[in-house]
Amino acid sequence: MNPSEDVLAALRELRAGDLPTHGGRTLAYVYDSGLSEVDSLGAAAHALASSANGLDPTAFPSLLRMENDLVAAAASLLGDVPGVVGSVTSGGTESCLLAVLAARDAHPAVAAPSIVLPTTAHAAFHKAAHLFGLRRIDVPVDPVTFRADPAAMAAAIDDSTVLVVASAPSYAHGVLDPVPEIAAAALERGVRMHVDACIGGWVLPYFARLGADVPPFDFRVPGVTSISVDLHKYAYCPKGTSVLLHASAELRRTHYFASAAWPGYTMLNTTIQSTRSGGPLAAAWAVVHHLGSDGYLKLASAAREATSRIRSGLEELPGLRVLGDPVSTLIAFAGDGDGFDLFTVADEMKARGWYVQPQFAHLTSPANLHLTVTAANHGSEKEFLTDLAASLDAARAAGPVVVDPAVAEFVAALDPATLTSEQFAGLLAAAGLGGASGLPERMAPINALLATAPAPLRERLLLEFLGALYTP
């Protein structure tokens, strides 16, 4: 048996190679309130309930109480209308999966059910369609604003449609879809309407209280039947909690699962998971109760000011342009034909201690860099923008990333459906992803190569790479 101190020391050594989760320097994946007591409180609450099992609320009524409290808090924030019910899930993807599942199973007579979603909808809905056997009807968005087109969305609804989706806001660009118009079209056809507010659900209502012009997107909008909102995003709770709200218990019923057709206990599930640790739930409950409305208003104010300062700074930097009109805390910015490579900018920012997230070009959305701004970024905006300006200068000096023509030709000839393991190995090596040394420090050459690959090939290549990573 290894001494516990040695095990923890080894864990700390492993974690030393990760991106920082605090301090506002990782502008994707993590959400930092900047309040140390929030982290310690969440960790302590998690430890208190981690051994409890959310599978059976009659055995652990504390978890039932905490879940109902969190659902009530989310419902109050998102319209405060009577009848709303919900479930706490493991994250935004599970919330979106369950919204799609509930819609599909509410219409068992539809032979080939479909979901209608804008091309900017989160890929979680692609996953839901894949897992649950629904057809995906992707509707182009406005090419300039990146907002969903209500008329095109309405035209895409047909007799097979079981769910229509809009974003509040979309992840890629941080823009808010026109929810009232889309919901009206869904309501007219008698189709469920889901608002993916995983990002904005816990911060946009506070922005509105601070005086921001936030168009309606919650249950006060006629036709909205479900909303997802993540607690581990702008509720600043530890990872592992989201809330899926339904406008009524009847709408929620079809995402539940039950099986008595075996000799064991009757299995009853409110989410996709069966056994669920009470740790994440208790941590979220503790953080939400600790911060309260006043605390969240202050955090929203800090995040809003930081986002505004960063956006203004981006718009003043030559060669950059902000995509769309972001209304929340997410910003995407592209290059403006200034002879530099954005992926190199990302590498230069990482060398200066910042992580910004590269996003590949898709349809009318050009290659860009994504920022998730949190309250922890308040106060460091000038430092971020100074380092970004220096990174732009370095990228201009380095010049565009050039993909070897022979490698590009090799990539163009590949068919992801028939690729062999040998071809994969050759392409991984060409992309710099081969070997056991992990990712290189500079990702720009790799991203430039991946950008030449069509999306299906890029998916297949990265899945193979992921499989290689997860090989002991």
Least confident of 222-231, 334-343, 404-413, 453-462: 404-413
At residue 288 the predicted structure's pLDDT band, cuts being 50, 70 and 90, is very high
Tokens of 145: 């604003």
Q: What mean pLDDT do residues 97-113 have?
A: 97
Q: Are 324 and 370 in contact (CB under 8 A)?
A: no
With 70 as the cut, is the pLDDT of residue 117 above it? yes
At residue 443 the predicted structure's pLDDT band, cuts being 50, 70 and 90, is confident
Least confident of 151-160, 350-359, 457-466: 457-466
Report the CATH fold assignment for 42-288: Aspartate Aminotransferase; domain 2 (3.40.640)
Q: What does the DSSP assignment read for 347-386? A: HHHHHTT-B-EEE--BTTBPSEEEEE--GGGTT-HHHHHH
* pLDDT the model gives residue 435: 53
- Give me the helix-helix angle, 421-430 and 455-469, nearest 10°: 90
Q: Of 336, 333, 334, which is closest to residue 319 (Cα–Cα)?
A: 336
Q: What mean pLDDT do residues 330-341 have?
A: 90
Q: Of 370, 371, 364, 253, which is closest to residue 307 (Cα–Cα)?
A: 371
Q: Are 243 and 86 in contact (CB under 8 A)?
A: yes
Residue extent(s) of CATH 3.40.640.10 domains in the chain: 42-288
* pLDDT the model gives residue 103: 98
The maximal CA–CA distance of the chain, rounded, in angstroms, is 70
Task: Compute the distance between CA of residue 114 and CA of residue 96 in angstroms, rounded to an integer.
Answer: 15
With 90 as the cut, is the pLDDT of residue 205 above it? yes
The residues, ordered by sequence, that sit 6+ positions from 457 with a Cβ below 8 Å of its Cβ are 411, 414, 416
Q: What are phi and psi of 439, to 5 degrees?
A: -75, 145
The residues, ordered by sequence, that sit 6+ positions from 452 with a Cβ below 8 Å of its Cβ are 403, 408, 411, 412
DSSP state of 24: S
The residue assigned the tokens 């600790």 is: 290
Percent of the chain with pLDDT over 70: 98
- pLDDT digit string, tens, across residues 374-403: 999 999 999 999 999 999 999 999 998 888
C-alpha pair distances (Å), 275 with each of 271, 321, 435 = 10, 46, 37
User: 461 or 245: which carries more pLDDT confidence?
Assistant: 245
* pLDDT the model gives residue 431: 63
Burial label, 466 (beta-carbon count in 10 A; 0-12, 13-18, 19+): exposed
Q: Are 399 and 448 in contact (CB under 8 A)?
A: no
Q: What does the DSSP assignment read for 273-339? A: -SS-BHHHHHHHHHHHHHHHHHHHHHHHHHHHHHHHHHHHHHHHSTTEEE-S---SSEEEEEE-SSS
How many other C-beta atoms lie within 10 A of the C-beta of residue 58?
A: 6
With 60 as the cut, is the pLDDT of residue 437 above it? no
Task: Compute the distance between CA of residue 277 and CA of residue 335 in angstroms, rounded to an integer.
Answer: 44
C-alpha pair distances (Å), 278 with each of 69, 74, 129, 240 = 14, 19, 29, 10
* pLDDT the model gives residue 364: 95
With 70 as the cut, is the pLDDT of residue 433 above it? no
C-alpha pair distances (Å), 287 with each of 15, 55, 417 = 24, 23, 47
User: 427 or 135: which carries more pLDDT confidence?
Assistant: 135
* pLDDT the model gives residue 414: 83
Count Cα atoms within 13 angstroms, Cβ side, for 158: 9
Which amino acid, one-letter code, is at 444? A
- pLDDT digit string, tens, across residues 192-202: 999 999 999 99
With 80 as the cut, is the pLDDT of residue 302 above it? yes
